[in-house]
Amino acid sequence: MNNSLSGKSIVWIEDDKFLGKMVSDRIGKTGARLAIVTDGLKAFETVRAEMPDVVILDLLMSNLDGFEILKLLKADPATKPIPVLVLSNLGQQEEIARARELGAARFVVKATIGLDGIIPEIEKVISSR
């Protein structure tokens, strides 16, 4: 497997624990460090503490939605430079446009990408930094 993620740090904000486990297993094989946050309220403080190479963000979260989390990340000078890959089931043009306006580096609709497609998307975001 390609090791371009080896040594990289990833924070994934996702409340679907089943999907989180499957992706965690895949990312673990790349040598990257992964922190999964399942609560929207803890997302910002986790990113602040970890200062990862990339944040993967679901928009439909409990407590605080992904748009609010993205606003917080991009409003803070410390976390603003961290690229955010939005990975969501939402996929309407308005939602994609709103995420991009708020500073998302990429937007991927979960339904259009298989598990094997997530790693290359993460690599694209990190390499474009």
Q: What is the pLDDT of residue 1?
A: 43
Residues 118 and 26 sit within 8 Å (Cβ to Cβ):
yes
Average pLDDT over every residue of 45-61: 94
Compute the distance between CA of residue 96 and CA of residue 47 in angstroms, rounded to an integer.
22
Q: What is the pLDDT of residue 114?
A: 79
pLDDT in tens, 60-94: 887 889 999 999 999 999 999 999 999 988 878 99
Two tokens, residue 76: 């803070």
Q: What is the DSSP string of the chain?
A: ---TTTT-EEEEE---HHHHHHHHHHHHTTT-EEEEE--HHHHHHHHHHH--SEEEE-SS-SSS-HHHHHHHHHHSTTTTTS-EEEEES---HHHHHHHHHTT-SEEEEGGG--HHHHHHHHHHHHHT-
Two tokens, residue 121: 């998307």
pLDDT in tens, 95-114: 999 999 999 999 999 888 87
Compute the distance between CA of residue 20 and CA of residue 68 in angstroms, rounded to an integer.
21
Location of structure tokens 């803070």: 76
Q: What is the pLDDT of residue 3?
A: 67
pLDDT in tens, 20-47: 888 888 888 899 999 999 988 899 999 9
